[in-house]
Amino acid sequence: MRRLSILAVLTVFAGCSSTDKDYGRALPPGMLALEKLTDPAQYPDFAPGYVDRESLIEAIDASLAYYAKPSSQKYFPYLDISHERAVASLHEFREILTTCVSGAELNARIVERFEVYRSIGWDGSGDMLFTGYCEPVYEASFERTDRFRFPLYGRPEELVKDEEGMPIGWRRGEEIGTSPRRKEIDSGCLAGRGLELVWLADPFDCYVVQVQGSAKFRMTDGTEMQVGYAGKTEYPYTSIGKLLVRDGKIERKDLCLRRIREHFRQHPEDLATYIQENDCYVFFQQNSGGPYGSLNVKVTPYRSLATDKSVFPRGAIAYAVTSLPAMTHGRRTGDRPFTQFIMDQDTGGGIRSAGRGDIFLGTGPDAEAMAGTVSDEGRLYYIFVKPPFGEVAAK
């Protein structure tokens, strides 16, 4: 889903919370997102994390697969956390999960064996904004037809990225210049080159796939196809939700993906105008077995988190204390606590701060409906095994 180190978590209404807190505020250069808590009284209660351990172990194993790659070592040390300690933390935590018999025991063993770190949040207080992302499922065609007229493109060879996968620009002969803007691409500057992977019936569906970074398609020939992120242009992401609120098209309190869809169905003349305000254009490749996060491991519903990987530690064990929507017929009707362990396995290209986190919510219409409504405050903690590492942790 979010491949390479820059996959964009381009949340449709990123940053539009019910408050005026600047969750997207960037940290000063060189500053990292976590601080170590030295007073156990500041620790959260980890007991509620004793749920659905099978999916959590699946996510832990995905992070261990990432840490087994030599390339993962280049991102450590992170603060006082070495690569060896990060690996040991996953082994220790996995062993605890398989041997504990209650949430209370889980909490006690974490306090005994682990050090706890906290995200400093947007302003040092620890407050964060959590949003959600998903893998949508749409109908599509391999060929352009009267119904399926809007393409998803594969990555053009002109798109230039650095070693970390960050977009640099567009190769033009011997020079690297700026990439085409969205309006140019939508006007057909890439047409006729065979870059079209699939064709969709709705241009806003194309946009949502770019926002989410992956999708599954039910093809007209009866097959299924999965696509994932392959690259993006270098332009910053612009939230069309924020623009619609700015222009009085949608009230801020009503902002969600469903409401944005409704607006464009009622006012199709607005669609191109607002979409083309966002020059950040995402390209795709065919995938199987995913969706994948930026660590190139499969992300797990409700167990994988996307953050700014320039300030958060890759693959680590996090603990989110926030809420998610209670949904009825695709609409948010209330809140429910979301207090559980989640692995930091994806990158938010639209997130450049310690104050944002994006939770992977799964595949299909229900996940899409929920992802389009999540905008909830909370806090985020990380745990790392205390040195020296024990026998289990050293595996």
Query: What is the per-residue pLDDT for 81?
Result: 97
pLDDT reading at 40 higher than 70: yes
Q: Residue 94 and residue 320: Cα distance in Å, rounded?
A: 18
Q: Residue 64 and residue 312: Cα distance in Å, rounded?
A: 17
Query: What is the per-residue pLDDT for 22?
Result: 87
Domain residue extents for the chain:
11-134+296-385, 135-287
Q: Each residue of 278-310: pLDDT tens digit?
A: 999 999 999 998 899 989 999 999 999 999 999
CATH number of 11-134+296-385: 2.40.40.10
What value, to the nearest 5°, has the Cα angle with vertex 226 and ends 64 and 56? 30
Q: Residue 280 and residue 148: Cα distance in Å, rounded?
A: 23
* pLDDT grade for 375, boundaries at 50, 70 and 90: confident
Rounded to the nearest integer, the mean pLDDT of the chain is 90
Q: Each residue of 224-262: pLDDT tens digit?
A: 999 999 999 999 888 898 899 999 999 988 888 889 999
pLDDT-above-90 percentage for the chain: 76
Top-level class of domain 135-287: mainly beta
Query: What is the per-residue pLDDT for 350?
Result: 63
Q: Residue 356 and residue 377: Cα distance in Å, rounded?
A: 9
Q: Each residue of 42-84: pLDDT tens digit?
A: 999 999 999 999 999 999 999 999 999 999 999 999 999 999 9
Query: What is the per-residue pLDDT for 14?
Result: 40
